[in-house]
Copies of this chain bind each other. A is one copy, B any other.
Amino acid sequence: MSLSEIVEQVHREMADHIGAGKVADYIPALAEIDPRKFGLAVVTCDGDTASAGDADEPFSIQSVSKVFTLTLALEKAGVALWERVGREPTGSAFNSIVQLEHEAGIPRNPLINAGAIVVTDELLADHTPEQTVEDIVAFLRTRADDPSVGIDLEVAWSEGDTGDRNASLAHFMRSFGNLKGRVEDVLHVYFRQCAIAMSCRQLARAGLYLAHAGTDPMTGERVISEVRTRRINAIMMSCGHYDASGEFAFQVGLPGKSGVGGGILAIAPRQAAIAVWSPGLNERGNSLVGTLALERLGALTGWSVF
């Protein structure tokens, strides 16, 4: 089967499942999304592209943004970043604070909320919140090769309304000296990065450098070193799905990062970047149908790293 045929087949196989899962309701602006949306896009290192369903409709990328801010922060801070955040899975939920207390304010990894807040704080150093937000959006526009990528402000404000848990995490780390900026500034940026809206096609294109050793195969531009690319992928594999990361590795076998908006970015190293979107979440907060689709795509392409 060609890539297009495979993508079409996965889409067809999902028909019976579409609508399953529970749309995130704790961010009001997300609760209204149609649960029957489904998009899938694949961009290969050779420049091939295939997509199906609502692959051109923007959705809130939420925590998928953590992969891109991690890329930026590693380029800015280098290995010093690892003094502020670990690289281990937590075995806990995405917004757990328990581990932070036991480990003196150092989050386990940059893909849980606490860790991503530290990463954002790193980006904020020597910048205004507004400038930091602009830099993040500009990076994604360049990576997606599409200037239309932007922030859904309704979602950003909506997060601010319900952001007590993240404020708690931020103050907690600040009490241990592991937050340099003001909590309100860090959260200003954090809520906006989570509210970036992208389509599957844009998201897969934006993540392509992670499948191609850190360079953009379309432009030849180096985004990040090869070693760091591998390490971001390793962290996605270990930690990209919160306390269901082991399950995702087991079922899909690819590095991936999910968001509560129902999107998942998965990387098939040396092959392709894949973005899927289906708003219904499983009980661990990851897209239910999105995970199934990636499992089938992996089986049909043989792209599992294992």
Contact = CB atoms under 8 A, between A and B. Distances in A.
Interface of A: 86-92, 96-102, 108-109, 162, 164-165, 167-172, 174-175, 183, 229-231, 233-235, 237-239, 243-247, 249-250, 253, 255, 269, 304-306
A230 to B, nearest CB: 4
Contact of A88 (B97, B169, B231, B243): B243
Nearest to A299: B227
B172 A97 contact: yes
B172 A304 contact: no
A304 to B, nearest CB: 5
B246 A89 contact: yes
B246 A87 contact: yes
A25 to B, nearest CB: 14
22 contacts: A87-B246, A88-B246, A89-B246, A97-B97, A97-B98, A97-B172, A98-B101, A109-B246, A164-B171, A164-B174, A168-B170, A168-B172, A229-B306, A230-B253, A234-B249, A235-B246, A235-B249, A237-B249, A237-B306, A238-B238, A239-B246, A269-B306
A269 B302 CA distance: 12
A8 to B, nearest CB: 23
A88 to B, nearest CB: 4
Contacts of A168: 97, 167-172, 175
Contact of A246 (B86, B162, B171, B305): B86
Count of identical protomers in the assembly: 4
A151 B89 CA distance: 34
Name which of A98, A102, A108 has the most chain B CB atoms within 10 A of its CB: A98
Contacts of A306: 229-231, 233-234, 237, 255, 269, 305
Contacts of A97: 97-98, 100-101, 168, 172
Contacts of A100: 97
Contact of A250 (B162, B165, B169, B235): B235
A268 B50 CA distance: 29
A85 to B, nearest CB: 12
Given A87-B247, A231-B306, A269-B306, 9 more contacts: A88-B89, A88-B247, A89-B91, A91-B92, A97-B168, A98-B102, A168-B171, A235-B249, A238-B250
Q: List the 8 closest pairs (A to B, CB-CB), nearest first.
A: A91-B91, A164-B175, A233-B306, A168-B171, A88-B246, A305-B305, A168-B172, A165-B175
A102 B101 CA distance: 13
| Max chain B C-beta neighbours (<10 A), residue from A98, A171, A174 | A171
